[in-house]
Chain A
Amino acid sequence: MNESRRDPEARHGFAGARPSGGGLGAISGPPARTIAPLLDIVDVARHFPVRSAFGRKIGAVRAVDGISLAVWPGETVGLVGESGCGKSTLGKTIIGIHAPTAGEIRFLGREIGHLPPRERRKVARDLQYVYQDPGASLDPRWKVRRLLHEPLKIHTRLSRKQRDAAVQAILRAVGLPDAHLDLYPHELSGGQQRRVGLARILTLHPKLVILDEPTSGLDVSVQASVLKLFRAMRETFALTYLFISHDLAVVRTMCQRLAVMYLGRIVELGETAAVFADPRHPYTQSLLAAVPKIGAARVSRTFSLEGEPPNPRDVPTGCRFRTRCPLAQDVCAAEEPALREVGGQRVACHFA
């Protein structure tokens, strides 16, 4: 682990052999080895205590259970997996809503997982989270204008006039008319709320933005325009995204790299094109089997897997996926497979 911390890229397959002609071309090629990752999390876990009626701790929900992942400046990394596998919890642990139970969170070269609250809040200027439900994430009693001024009030010493100018600029960038400044969130449509939510965060010019299921609940046409907006913002503000989704079709169009999560762990990690072309983990394979082909009707059904994932309160021994895996053998119950390099990806499976 120490070794990997010194050279985080080694963990993610950039140092090793890569499939030549990865398919995404120059813009999405792997970052040069000399650049330090923006975000580098190492063995991060977040458990939620389960308490009895008398407040005694009787167990733990292992929502995130040992995840290492690095994100380099300028890339968009997808984080996919079934609902309840710990995607949001990982995102919220990174931004400090949840304290990590274990592990390190390095952002811009600094460990931020254990900073005192005041210091931790300052990190938010560079590290932001876009909530899944944009309507619910805006204070219903605040007008859009005040909502957009708030981040600037928190993190800058700009005058009222300067803030007004910044708000105007961001409003134009996300494509909202000035008239919306005097509306309450509930007076906006879902797509407009999404834009306000994004504007609120982008006024700070953060370096890393975590997008939590940003297209869920939107109908297909709105979804397309919102994705377009995310791409445009990425160019305009030189953003890096951690893109949480369970919609693989969307992830495929948005992300250069992809991490597949199952029950609090990453089971496969690699370039999106490589993972889609040649998924190595049986879980990834079953996920991809459920992705509609281009031209076919979009079904928003999740996965073609048998049964439900196990409860994160009661994680199976050995490989977490073995209870639903067609390939499972004795070794899978005995030993938890480590993420290891297979082809261009990193895969946690004894049989990959």
Chain B
Amino acid sequence: MSALWFVVSRLARDRAALVGLVLILGLVFSAVFAPLLATHPDDVYELHPAERLRAPSAEHWLGTDRMGSDMYSRLLFGARITILIGVIAVGASLVIGVPLGLVAGYYHNWVSDALMRVSDVFLAVPQVVLAIAIAQTLGPSLPNVILALSVTYWPWFARIVYAESRTLEKEVFIESTQALGASPWRLVVLHVLPNIASPIIVRASIGMGFTILTAAALGFLGLGPPPPTPEWGRTIAESREFLPNAWWYAAAPGLAIFLTVMGFNLLGDGLRDVLDPRLRRGRHRAA
């Protein structure tokens, strides 16, 4: 708890990180309270052909789409989908990538080589391309988008955990814990993992932004959840035939995606500075 407070208070001192934090908190707030914040909460599923393609006004703050639904309300509900995709895909990538990275980092034999070769293969293919291939094969749906993103993102975690373990293993306390008679399990879970948590958290934050961007790209290509899901990427795709007149139709979801991705990246960069163990240890020594 005090550690969390330490991180937040240090983040607050870094302007860019603070902006990131505010953006992400805003996103989460919008998603959680979407039904309350929305001016037309039912518009996600209801059609109002008479109201279609209205410009922003007091009634429709961000205008309406081709079905006459309120853009602002749809964006709020879209935030839920965005967060759902990001959290589950990054969570699954963590669950797959971290243990594999730890195993590869612990062993010094063909196991490490094999695991790292596999993750290299994944990393060699651009994530969007691989995700498109997977989503295309499995068919457009929310679970398939999440699956495609998880399958393509875990190697980042495996890589980072592996590299960090290899650096950490040179620390004397790792050897001294082994000398004490600790099992590999105890060593890796209780000593290695907590000491490499910071870069994992940073990568997870940046990964959220990256995954959300890729999810939007899949949505844009029609590989995301089908209509009427208010997914941001697909909303932009829909807007194309009404541009440039209905500019708000593309601008609103575009801005939402942009702010979300930027928020996670700023937060990730800020966390990198705050959590960097070298900086932290230096601080303690000075104190």
Interfacial residues, chain B to chain A (CB-CB below 8 A): 171-173, 175-183, 186, 191, 194-195, 277, 281, 284-285
Contact = CB atoms under 8 A, between A and B. Distances in A.
A136 B284 contact: no
Interface in A135-159: 136-141, 150-151, 154-155
Nearest to A95: B179
B194 A141 contact: yes
A129 B179 contact: yes
B194 A121 contact: no
B104 to A, nearest CB: 17
Given A131-B176, A141-B194, A186-B285, A136 B171 contact: yes
Contact of B173 (A129, A137, A154): A137
A139 B175 CA distance: 10
Given A131-B172, A133-B172, A124 B281 contact: no
A136, A139, A155, A201 pick with most chain B CB within 10 angstroms? A139
A154 to B, nearest CB: 5
29 contacts: A92-B175, A92-B179, A95-B179, A96-B179, A97-B175, A125-B181, A129-B176, A131-B172, A131-B175, A133-B172, A136-B171, A136-B173, A138-B176, A139-B173, A139-B177, A139-B191, A139-B195, A140-B195, A140-B277, A140-B281, A141-B194, A150-B177, A151-B181, A154-B180, A154-B182, A154-B183, A154-B186, A186-B284, A200-B180
B152 to A, nearest CB: 30
Q: Give 10 closest A-B pairs by Cβ, nearest first.
A: A124-B181, A137-B176, A136-B172, A121-B181, A137-B172, A129-B179, A139-B173, A131-B176, A141-B194, A154-B181
Interface residues of A, number: 28
A138 B175 CA distance: 10
A151 B177 CA distance: 9
A278 B177 CA distance: 41
Nearest to A185: B173
Contacts of A133: 172
A128 interface: yes
B173 A201 contact: no
Given A154-B186, A186-B281, A186-B284, A138 B181 contact: no
Contacts of B172: 131, 133, 136-137
Nearest to A141: B194
Contacts, number: 62
A124 B180 contact: yes
A138 B179 contact: no
Contacts of A200: 180
A228 interface: no
Interface in A90-138: 92, 95-97, 121-125, 128-129, 131, 133, 136-138
A138 to B, nearest CB: 6
Contacts of B180: 124, 128, 150-151, 154, 200-201
A316 B183 CA distance: 40
A137 B177 CA distance: 8
A141 B192 CA distance: 10
A136 B171 CA distance: 7
A301 to B, nearest CB: 26
A38 B178 CA distance: 22
Contacts of B186: 154
A133 B173 CA distance: 10
A168 B171 CA distance: 28
Contacts of A141: 194-195
B7 to A, nearest CB: 14
A97 B178 contact: yes
A18 B183 CA distance: 45
